[in-house]
Amino acid sequence: MAEAQTLMDKIVNLTKRRGFIFPSAELYGGYGGFWDWGPLGLKLKNNIKNAWWRDFVLAWQDVVGLDGSIITNPKVWEASGHVANFVDSLVECLACHRRFKADDIDAVCPVCGGKLSPARTFNTMFTTNVGPVLETANEAYLRPETAQSIFVNYDNVRQTMRLKLPFGIAQIGKAFRNEITPGNFIFRSREFEQMELEYFVLPETSDEYFSELVDRCYNWFIQLGIHPDHLRKYPYPSGELAHYSRATTDIQFAFPIEKGWSELMGVANRTDYDLRQHGKAAKGDEQAFATPVGDDSSKKVVPYVIEPSMGVDRAALAFLLDAYEEIEGGRTTTTESVKETEIVLRLNKNLAPYQAAVLPLSKKPQLVKTAEEITRTLRQHWSTDYDETSSIGKRYRRQDEIGTPFCITVDFDTFEGGKRPAGTVTVRDRDSMAQENIAIPELVDYLRAKLA
């Protein structure tokens, strides 16, 4: 990674300049804690979500998906404990009136050194009103996590999908928290997305599944390119566990923020707390969600649940930070020489917004026609950019900056032969800048092997 103090600013600049992430409603001065994802950021985010869905839902035994509503019956949040406990402690500087999360600061205002007010609690759930009349009776909440809609649909999903323990229900969706101090770019926002898996298991197997899921989450980030030196597991000491948790381990990333190592995601053994709470509140019976063990319907348990909970935005930030490299003085190979400082975004090839870019050397109709044909073919398989503007060097730099792993160049040799046989294009590798000559009909197979 590049130098810690300024790396975040560089990512903020790059992602804005290249169409990944914009301040929400920038036209009106932005809006604290909210961000708009531009075309390339959206592709990155979708690729992250697809990779997670593939690896934690499709590839994992007996996991099904759910898409719960963002606003739901407020009784859910009473039973889950969010109405009473989803609070932050807030202090206000008596001199400059800035507000801070009490956990984050010491005795005085970190901005002006003024005295602080006594701490008061503040529920971080956003409220809204359902129906046309604004009154407390119809107050509702924007969900602060996706997990609860899984718990309240536990029996619906189990029965309709004929699932037996162990099994999981996964969800990707928006969550909202009225954070006192949003900041550090998209690390802490007020609207973000979560990818959560609730994996229901027999209580006596929960420790085993917990360790397995912690390892799977850690390895997932490593496989997708996070450097092992920037990732670590943080098991919570028993005194710091939430009241429902038997064990929690955060996967932390070395974010270049004041606090340094910070939570990228968490894995918790939430025991049977949530199902019992909803059983009690909705049905007056803590055992309401007791589930048959195997085929023996006379033996029933309220399962424990292992929950890997991950923020999509925070994961995107970690991937961007870890992928960013600045090469002072540029790079020189046998085919290219870059003199100025070059930025290369070494994103995992399948997470990158585009897997390939097709670049005709000039705007001559013959080159453009073939380049467009190749683009159409590649677009059936991968996200593919097409660019015929400016010099080829500038176009390579742009693709390096947005992380495109392969640039395909159509030039005159493609038609007439010369340094290369006719009928070939060059494929340039983002990381090594090495160029290979590939026959056009072999391009799809070549890229498929490289992107496997």
* Part in contact with ligand ATP (CB under 6 A); list of ranges 12-20, 161-169, 311-319, 419-427: 311-319
- Residue 119 or 338: which CB sits closer to ligand ATP? 119
41 binds ligand ATP (CB under 6 A): no
Residue selected from 80, 149, 171, 189 as contacting ligand ATP according to rule CB under 6 A: 189
Dist. CA 131–CA 144, nearest whole Å: 21
Residue selected from 55, 155, 263, 286 as contacting ligand ATP according to rule CB under 6 A: 263
310 binds ligand ATP (CB under 6 A): yes
Q: Shortest approach of ligand ATP to residue 273 CB, angstroms? A: 15
430 binds ligand ATP (CB under 6 A): no
Residue 336 per-residue DSSP state: -
- Alpha helix locations (H) across 272-420? 273-283, 312-323, 365-379, 392-402, 413-416
Main-chain dihedrals φ then ψ at residue 139, nearest 5 degrees: -75, 140
Q: Shortest approach of ligand ATP to residue 387 CB, angstroms? A: 33
179 binds ligand ATP (CB under 6 A): yes
* Part in contact with ligand ATP (CB under 6 A); list of ranges 135-143, 189-197, 198-206, 379-387: 189-197
By beta-carbon distance, which residue lies closest to ligand ATP? 311
24 binds ligand ATP (CB under 6 A): no
Dist. CA 423–CA 271, nearest whole Å: 62
Closest C-alpha to 56, from 202, 271, 212: 212
Residue selected from 314, 398, 428, 430 as contacting ligand ATP according to rule CB under 6 A: 314
* Strand ranges across the sheet with 167-176: 63-65, 167-176, 191-201, 304-311, 261-269, 247-254, 231-235
311 binds ligand ATP (CB under 6 A): yes
231 binds ligand ATP (CB under 6 A): no
Angle of CA points 101, 102, 105, to nearest 5°: 95
417 Cβ neighbours under 8 A, 6+ residues apart: none
- Residues of this chain, 383-412, that bind ligand ATP according to CB under 6 A: none
Query: E strands along 93-166, which residues?
Result: 99-101, 120-123, 127-129, 139-141
Dist. CA 214–CA 208, nearest whole Å: 10
- Residue 188 or 230: which CB sits closer to ligand ATP? 188
Assess contact for 236 and 266: CB atoms under 8 A.
no
* Part in contact with ligand ATP (CB under 6 A); list of ranges 39-47, 71-79, 262-270, 363-371: 262-270
Dist. CA 148–CA 128, nearest whole Å: 18
188 binds ligand ATP (CB under 6 A): yes
- Residue 116 or 265: which CB sits closer to ligand ATP? 265
- Give whole-number Cα distances, 151 to 33, 101, 196, 227, 275, in Å: 28, 30, 12, 35, 6
266 binds ligand ATP (CB under 6 A): yes
Element (DSSP H or E) covering residue 359 = strand 356-360
Q: How many residues bind ligand ATP (CB under 6 A)?
A: 15
Q: Shortest approach of ligand ATP to residue 266 CB, angstroms? A: 4
Interface with ligand ATP (CB under 6 A)? 145, 177, 179, 188-189, 192, 194, 263, 265-266, 309-311, 313-314
